[in-house]
Structure 1
Amino acid sequence: MSHAISKNHNGNGDSPRSLFVENLEKAYTKGNLILKGLTFEVHGETTVGIIGPSGTGKSTLLRCINRLIEPTSGKIIVAGQDITSLSGTRLRLARRHIGMVFQEFNLVERLSVIENVLCGRLGYLPSWRAWLRKFPQEDINQAFKLIDQVGLGEFATQRADSLSGGQRQRVGIARAMMQNPDVIMADEPTSSLDPKTSVEIMELLKQVSATQHIPVLINIHDVNLAQRFCDRIIGMSQGHIVFDGPPSELSPEHLKQIYGGEDWLA
């Protein structure tokens, strides 16, 4: 059975779904920068793998983009809107369009697959509807459609805690898609999965990017997976971007610069 993800056109010639990061800095303590003036942009159906050693700021970058943490300085522009200038209600409205796929899935274990996917629409509902989880029928229909598209149609009514790791990650991807996002970010989405399932999840994320015409940023430790499935690699080291280009141009010399050591040149 095919689970091809249907295309979601925006109605105009060029997709507004884009991300600009300009001179982004983040310091958790004064004078100790974790992110050091990062600048890059991503447009439309592009899958970007962000690689680098632990502690170099990859997860901090994603958390700044979705404003889970506050940037120290710089700009983050999602679909033309500078989210670093927003607060309160305006920030909550903007964050609805930033999908997030988490390393540990972040599902509500006692809820069913369909209920977890529908959580992607909570930011669009009046507070009373969100509290009671009274979703419009249109949202329910879309959730079932997305569940089928990520290959879990027969599991729609099962509790999340009955699923395998790979199935849970598929639920997380469907939940992110349910937001109708302008960008999706995945923070180590394969780190707790076996090799076969990791390949399947990367294939799914690439398919989401291509068919929904949105950038997908993937923080990933597995360089081989990044090179295989990503259109573009951003390599980080000590808070700086030291490589930004297609996977075919990522050389052992670049990997040495990113990770250090001599093993990459062996």
Structure 2
Amino acid sequence: MNQTAASSLAHADAETSRALVIKNLVKEYTPGKPVLSGISLELEARGITAIIGPSGTGKSTLIRCINRLVDPTKGEILFKGKDLAKLSGKQLRLARRHIGMVFQEYNLLERLSVMENVLSGRLGYVSPFRAWLRKFSEADMQRAFELLDQVGMADFADQRADALSGGQRQRVAIARALMQSPDILLADEPTSSLDPKTSVEILDLMTEQAKIRNIPVVINIHDVTLAKRFADRIVGMSSGHVVYDGAPDGLQDEHLKAIYGGEDWLS
């Protein structure tokens, strides 16, 4: 094998060892006005990555491009050997089985029970007919009970989702995402609707579950203090660009000024 081929193979191996590789990602909702301006990131196969930045800077768009709730304009999103940006139809549905998602507003089916909401995390693995009938295997039922116990919601299995508090709903949403047996977990502002105590509990739960399953978590979060407390890596965004990418203890005031602009809010 010549040196060029060996180098290419080594580069390919390095990429496949990452959980996610994003290359020159651009998203324009309006032509010529990018919300994401050539984002490139590599995420390891474990650990917590917090994405911080002001509202409107592209944090949620980045998360939603990764799981293809939003279609990117340009760039690559390499996940499990495939470019998510180029997938469609069945291939995209199969890839998204492995991407768990936790939303800011929970996105639970309010009229269904807690157990039914958790089981909905398996819909990508059953036939449309069985999904319509809500027919799940005994193994899936057992797995759902185990997850509810792990997130502290086992006693609420038969309760309707619309009777839960915000923190309880987010616990159910986390269980639903984990029901997919994901290889990566994405969370879009999962604590913004919660009080400070519950926010810490939810981030602690997500961190614990990620370590148990040895999967990476990517969290969009406004609270810089919580990001520094829970994340292994912080990505700071401003106007669609990455302006900081590093360890939490390396995040200094000058970085925060570059991310958020101005100085008054730091005092």
| Shorter-chain TM-score range | over 0.9
Indicate the residue corresponding to 1:142 in structure 2. 143
Maintained 8 Å contact 1:252/1:264? no
Indicate the residue corresponding to 1:5 in structure 2. none
Indicate the residue corresponding to 1:9 in structure 2. none
* Distance (whole Å) between structure 1 residues aligned to residue 161 and residue 116 of structure 2: 9
TM-score normalised by L of structure 2:
0.92
* Distance (whole Å) between structure 1 residues aligned to residue 195 and residue 18 of structure 2: 32
1:127 and 2:145 correspond: no
* Distance (whole Å) between structure 1 residues aligned to residue 118 and residue 234 of structure 2: 29
* Distance (whole Å) between structure 2 residues aligned to residue 200 and residue 193 of structure 1: 10
Change (3 A) 1:79 1:208: farther
Indicate the residue corresponding to 2:104 in structure 1. 103
Indicate the residue corresponding to 1:242 in structure 2. 243
Indicate the residue corresponding to 1:160 in structure 2. 161
Maintained 8 Å contact 1:255/1:264? no
1:220 and 2:221 correspond: yes
1:264 Cα shift?
5.4
Which amino acid letter does the alignment assign opposite residue 169 of structure 1?
Q
Maintained 8 Å contact 1:256/1:264? no
Maintained 8 Å contact 2:18/2:42? no
Change (3 A) 1:189 1:35: same
Structure with the higher fraction of residues in helix conformation: 2
Indicate the residue corresponding to 2:195 in structure 1. 194
* Distance (whole Å) between structure 2 residues aligned to residue 78 and residue 182 of structure 1: 9
Indicate the residue corresponding to 1:65 in structure 2. 66
**Regions of 4+ moved over 3 Å:** none
Which amino acid letter does the alignment assign opposite residue 139 of structure 1?
D
1:60 Cα shift?
0.4
Per-residue CA shift, 1:49-94, capped at 9, x if unaligned?
1000000000000110000111001010122221112111111111
| SS of alignment partner, residue 192 of structure 1 | coil
* Distance (whole Å) between structure 1 residues aligned to residue 18 and residue 89 of structure 2: 23
RMSD: 1.2
Indicate the residue corresponding to 2:175 in structure 1. 174
Aligned residues: 252
Larger Rg: 2
Maintained 8 Å contact 2:114/2:158? yes
1:127 Cα shift?
1.0
Maintained 8 Å contact 2:47/2:217? yes
* Distance (whole Å) between structure 2 residues aligned to residue 259 and residue 31 of structure 1: 23
Write out aligned runs for 1:35-46 (5 A): 35-46=36-47
Indicate the residue corresponding to 1:3 in structure 2. none
Maintained 8 Å contact 1:27/1:72? yes
1:41 Cα shift?
1.0
Which amino acid letter does the alignment assign opposite residue 76 of structure 1?
I
User: Between the two proteins, what is the percent identity of the paired residues?
Assistant: 64
* Distance (whole Å) between structure 1 residues aligned to residue 180 and residue 43 of structure 2: 19
| SS of alignment partner, residue 116 of structure 1 | helix
Structure 1 unaligned spans of 5+: 1-14
Per-residue CA shift, 1:147-173, capped at 9, x if unaligned?
000111111111111111001000000
| SS of alignment partner, residue 122 of structure 1 | helix
Maintained 8 Å contact 1:18/1:80? no
* Distance (whole Å) between structure 1 residues aligned to residue 81 and residue 31 of structure 2: 30
* Distance (whole Å) between structure 1 residues aligned to residue 17 and residue 117 of structure 2: 28
Maintained 8 Å contact 1:17/1:182? no
* Distance (whole Å) between structure 2 residues aligned to residue 18 and residue 263 of structure 1: 38
Which amino acid letter does the alignment assign opposite residue 131 of structure 1?
W
* Distance (whole Å) between structure 2 residues aligned to residue 19 and residue 118 of structure 1: 26
1:265 Cα shift?
5.4
1:43 Cα shift?
1.6
* Distance (whole Å) between structure 1 residues aligned to residue 25 and residue 209 of structure 2: 27
1:263 Cα shift?
2.5
Structure 2 unaligned spans of 5+: 1-15
Change (3 A) 1:239 1:128: same
Indicate the residue corresponding to 2:3 in structure 1. none
